[in-house]
Amino acid sequence: MRTQLGVRLEALQCGAEAIGWKVGFNLPAIQERLGIDRPVAGFLTSGGLVPDGGTWLVDEEDPELVAEPEVAVEIGDDGRTIAALMPAIELTVPPDLSLPLEEMLARNVFHRAVAFGPRSEPGSPGVARLYVDGELREQVPAERTGSHLEPMVDAIAARLAEVGEKLRPGDRIITGVLAPPPVVTAGQAVRLELDQLGAVELSIEPALGR
């Protein structure tokens, strides 16, 4: 984790802006496989921020990405409670779970990019639907889209405290994958709809195609 924070500091010193944090490995089956008992943390900066409806460019190093549907939270003025919710899509490289956990953390838990939808007051996110190129890929019932939010905030706060870091007002946290995420490639578009929060979408294009 300290190595990861060093990578984050270098990005900030090079001009990126801090956005917040990501929950990694929130699924119990993955935690069991990795020998951990709670999620890990990664970081988010403006270097990987895609505007809602925008495009993420990929090159030969990332021929495939994984599109993770998530609920994002925004931390309130007290540095701990949830002040707002947003739909979010995270792009990661396909996780290589054979790597040592320390290396996964140093690689920022495979993070590449994130897009946020509209900001809403706290409440139930509602039913989630994930589309790829207009085709429904996953649907998650309302009872599964919001019950994990506060525990995931607590998990990130605890991971940060272990290395002398803390949550700050305005930090955004993407709280973990809601459903099995599809693999996507250049030329595809991904959209996440949450009944009570709205939608977020992004497109993936080859870097040489522009």
Residues in CB range of 70: below 8 A, 6 or more apart: 87, 88, 89, 90, 174, 175, 176, 177, 178, 192
Q: Is the pLDDT of residue 209 over 60?
A: no
Averaged pLDDT, 100-115: 96
Report the C-alpha gap between 203 and 115 in whole angstroms: 10
Is the pLDDT score of 102 beyond 80? yes
pLDDT (0 to 100) of residue 146: 95
Helix, coil or strand: residue 54: coil
Mean model confidence pLDDT for the chain: 95
Q: What is the pLDDT of residues 153-199, one digit of tens each?
A: 999 999 999 999 999 999 999 999 999 999 999 999 999 999 999 99
User: Which class does domain 2-209 fall in?
Assistant: alpha beta
Residue 190: per-residue pLDDT: 98
Domain boundaries, the chain: 2-209
- Under the banding of pLDDT at 50, 70 and 90, the label for residue 5 is very high
What are the angstrom distances between the C-alpha of 38 and each of 94, 108, 135, 153?
Answer: 21, 17, 33, 12
3-state secondary structure 150-188: HHHHHHHHHHHHCCCCCCCCCCEEECCCCCCCCEECCCC
Task: Identify the H or E element spanning 96.
Answer: none
Least reliable range by pLDDT among 57-61, 66-70, 141-145, 201-205: 57-61
